Amino acid sequence: MSAPRPISEDDLQAYVDEALSTTRREEVEAYLDAHPEEAKRIGGFVADRAALRAALGAIAEAPIPSELGLRALIEARRTRQAYWRPAIAAAAVLMIGGLAGWTARGVVTPPINGVGALSREAADNYRVYASDVHRPVEIGSAQKAELVRWVSNRVSSSVEVPDLQAAGYRFIGGRLVSTPHGPAALFIYDDAQGLRLAVMVRPMRVEKNTAMSEHAEDGLSGVSWATDGIGYSLVGPTPSAELHPLADDVRRQVERHM
C-alpha cells in the first residue's frame, strides 16, 4: 500500500472550503492534529468561513434581481453587440487601410504590472461594483471587523479600512475582488449625494514603493501609489485634483498603522 501524498497548501485550502474527499479530509485532519500551528492557522480560516456564511446567508437566499436574470443579461449582450458592430467594422476598415501604406509602430498597450496595472484594475472594479445599486459590497460596514480579518487573510497582509468621514464620505462596506495579480480588497464609500468612491488594496510584486500618480479614463479619475509592497488606488467620478487630498489622507492613515 502506497504512502499518502504529502499535505499541500492546496489541500489545506480545499479543507477550509469543504471540497475534499472523505479519505483526503481524514488525512488532512491527521496532519493538523500533528501540527498545532497549522491547525491554529487553518482553524482561523474555517472560523472566517463560518462567520461569512452567517453574515451573508440572507443575501444568498434572496431572489436574483430581474435585471441580473439570464434573459435580461442575454438581451443586454445583444444590445451591446449591435451597438459595437458598426464601430468594429469601421475600425477594421481603418486598420486595413493603414497597414497598406504604413507599418504600425509604438502601439500603446495597457500596463500589465506595477502601479499602472493597479490603477486600471481599480477603475475596472469600480465600474463593476460601485455602480451596482443592489449589492455593491459583500460585507457591510456593520461587520467591518469581520471584513478586515477576511480580506487581510486573503491578501496575506494586514489591511485597514481608510476613514474618509472628514471629507464627507461614509464607509458602506467592501468585498474581495480578483485581479491578474491575485486577490485584492475593494472598499466603497458614498457621500450625501450618493457619489461613490472606492479604495482598492493589494500586494505589489513590482514597484513596491512608488510615489502617487494620477490617472483618468472614461469619466473616472484616480490616484495610485505603493508603500512597503502594498498598492493603493483611490478611484471615483471626481477630478484627480479633488481626489489627491483624499489620497494623501489615506496614505497618512496607512503609514500610522504600520
Are 71 and 183 in a shared domain? no
Judge whether 1 lies within some domain. no
Are 118 and 220 in a shared domain? yes
Look at residue 83 and give its three-state secondary structure: helix
Host domain of residue 50:
9-61
How far is residue 228's CA from residue 209's CA, in Å, rounded to a whole number? 6
Judge whether 40 lies within some domain. yes
- Measuring CA to CA, how many Å separate 27 from each of 5, 34, 163? 9, 11, 44
Are 129 and 231 in a shared domain? yes
Are 88 and 155 in a shared domain? no
- Residue 125 is predicted with a pLDDT of 93
Are 16 and 55 in a shared domain? yes
C-alpha radius of gyration, the chain, whole number: 22
- If we measure between CA atoms, which residue out of 51, 62, 46, 247 comes closest to residue 144? 51
Judge whether 240 lies within some domain. yes
Are the C-beta atoms of residues 134 and 104 closer than 8 Å to each other?
Answer: no
Look up residue 93 and give its three cell numbers.
Answer: 476598415
- Residue 149 is predicted with a pLDDT of 93
**What separation, in Å, do the N-terminal and C-terminal C-alpha atoms of the chain show?**
51
Domains contained in the chain, number = 3
- Residue 225 is predicted with a pLDDT of 95
Mean pLDDT score across all residues of the chain? 83
Using a CB cutoff of 8 Å and minimum separation of 24, what contacts does 209-215 make? 210/114, 210/115, 212/244, 212/247, 212/248, 212/251, 213/115, 213/119, 214/240, 214/243, 214/244, 215/116, 215/119, 215/123, 215/240
What average pLDDT does this structure show over 198-210? 93
Pick from 58-72, 147-161, 163-177, 220-234: least confident: 58-72
Predicted TM-score of the model (pTM): 0.60
Judge whether 106 lies within some domain. no
How far is residue 238's CA from residue 33's CA, in Å, rounded to a whole number? 53
pLDDT in tens, 10-33: 888 888 888 889 998 999 999 999
Q: Is pLDDT of 179 > 80?
A: yes
Q: Is pLDDT of 144 > 70?
A: yes
What average pLDDT does this structure show over 4-9? 81
pLDDT in tens, 46-64: 887 777 777 776 666 666 6
Are 84 and 174 in a shared domain? no
Are 151 and 185 in a shared domain? yes
Higher-scoring residue by pLDDT: 25, 133: 25
Judge whether 4 lies within some domain. no
What values do phi and psi take at 247, rounded to 5?
-65, -40
pLDDT in tens, 94-132: 565 555 554 444 444 556 778 999 999 999 999 999 988
Query: Which CATH number do you get for residue 133?
Result: 3.30.200.100
pLDDT in tens, 209-224: 999 999 998 899 999 9
